[in-house]
Amino acid sequence: MTRRESMANVGAAALAGMAGTAKAAVTRSSPLDTHDALGLAQLVRDKQISPSELLDAAIARTEALNPRFNFIAQKHYEHGRAAIANGLPQGPFTGVPWLLKDLNTYIAGLPTENGSRFYKDYRPAVTSELVRRIEQAGFVIFGKTTVPELGLTGTTENKLTGDTRNPWDVSRITGGSSGGAAAAVAAGVLPAAHATDGGGSIRIPASCCGLFGMKPSRGRVPMGPPRTEGWGGLSVHHAVTRSVRDSAAILDATQGPEPGSRYAAPTPDDTFLSQVGKAPSRLRIALMLDAPAGSPVDRECVEAARKAARLCENLGHHVEEAAPKLDIAAMGAASFVLIGSSVAADMADRAKATGVAIGPDVLEPITLGFVAYGQKTTGMDFARANSTLQAAAIAMAQFMANYDVILSPTLAAPPLKLGQINLTPDVDFAAWGQRAGAFSPFTQIANMTGQPAMSVPLAMSATGLPIGVMFMGRYGDEATLFRLAGQLEQAAPWKNRRPTL
């Protein structure tokens, strides 16, 4: 593509966005469509396009498409323009637009509202270490994406910003809690965006929106300040992407301990990006088709996993049905203790800071349910929960001494209709927990045990909705997953599979 062609494409997108004509803005001829993030950075290095032109194109698409899909929580357009004007660092992604998730990820002085009325216009005094690393890599941050309140559910619906809608079908969920990020990438606003995962929140939206989503190992990516651990170690940061190599290169740019880290994932022998083009050795893959807690799994999701298993066998890997023996009920209860305690403590601190009482005027039913649960837990409950999940991590490591990867459906169903797993005042909190867990029964194991796991967009439903397939690796071994993902991307490419906008 010549610079003149790039200019024309960007200009057309910008004009369409300013005119509010979403249809014209997504003609799939912009560099935002034809290149992944590394590809866009190469265009900038080759002077075929400028960072300002890329930013203008991404902003134009945001303005055109956000009214339809509702993926933007905060617009930081001037922050992005100022970063370009001040001179961008020379990194692997210099000049590429980037969106942060609006959840506990801070730029000092700019709002972070966590999808909650209780945090409306909250402006932190610190900048997250992850943000520093993202900007050092050359990304241009121009906004924050929508989340469910405090990231507590697998659908991005809240009373602060409203419902985020799936570009594949606006009546469907994008998943959560990184639903805004996934919607923005699926809609073609940008090729990659920040995401976090405390129980599946990278992989659930990746599956719902037809993207690649890697949840890194516990301790791989910085969480702070002001704290270096989320939900007792359940939560991690990374991204949703269209390409595997973008995910790997972003992890290279962000991984590693931060000041004050109490633990860190093992340092890789080489870059993750270098692994993407390498064919993995013959892998031993355990195929897990039944939901760990016994809840039903849609036949299309099961068949997607079976088809992925056959593909892996055709690529030379050994696949056999097997699953770790885990006390899922005890692990789930332990996770609720860790999450509930954390949420209750944070809301008590917020109430103290604002002078506003905890209640339905500022918090949604799901959050109030977690607060009530957390208020009943004791220090001994927390210690026992922590021990339960440590025992589960040991059991998982013992199982994976015999397997390199566990293959399963990512979710138990294609993307649900909006409203199906969002707690309303007339629904019991425990019943909601069972319903939400039944939709995403596979993803939480990786958070409970600290392992890396990825959702790969290998399948589509009969009705044209994305279905992800999940691969879980050994703790600290994202390298094997990236090698396998690169192999799958080459064997069954999804690059050109996009929603019709």
Residues annotated catalytic, as ranges = 101, 177, 201
DSSP states of 99-140 as a string? Answer: EEESSS---TTS---TT-GGGTT---SS--HHHHHHHHTT-E
Residue reference for tokens 């958070």: 447
* 371: three-class secondary structure by DSSP: helix
How far apart, in Å, are the Cα atoms of 278 and each of 317, 484, 498? 15, 9, 26
**The two three-digit tokens of residue 46, written as one number:** 């080759």
| Distance in angstroms between the alpha carbons of the first and the last residue of the chain | 24
Report the alpha-carbon distance of residue 238 to residue 255 in Å, rounded.
9
Residue reference for tokens 């789930």: 332
**Of all helices (H) and strands (E), which one includes residue 409?**
strand 405-409
Residue reference for tokens 């990236």: 482
For 196, phi then psi, to 5°, come to -130, 165
Report the alpha-carbon distance of residue 108 to residue 121 in Å, rounded.
13
What does the radius of gyration of the chain's CA atoms come to, in whole angstroms?
A: 21
Report the alpha-carbon distance of residue 68 to residue 188 in Å, rounded.
13
Report the alpha-carbon distance of residue 45 to residue 245 in Å, rounded.
18
Residue reference for tokens 């194109």: 57
**The two three-digit tokens of residue 33, written as one number:** 């469509």
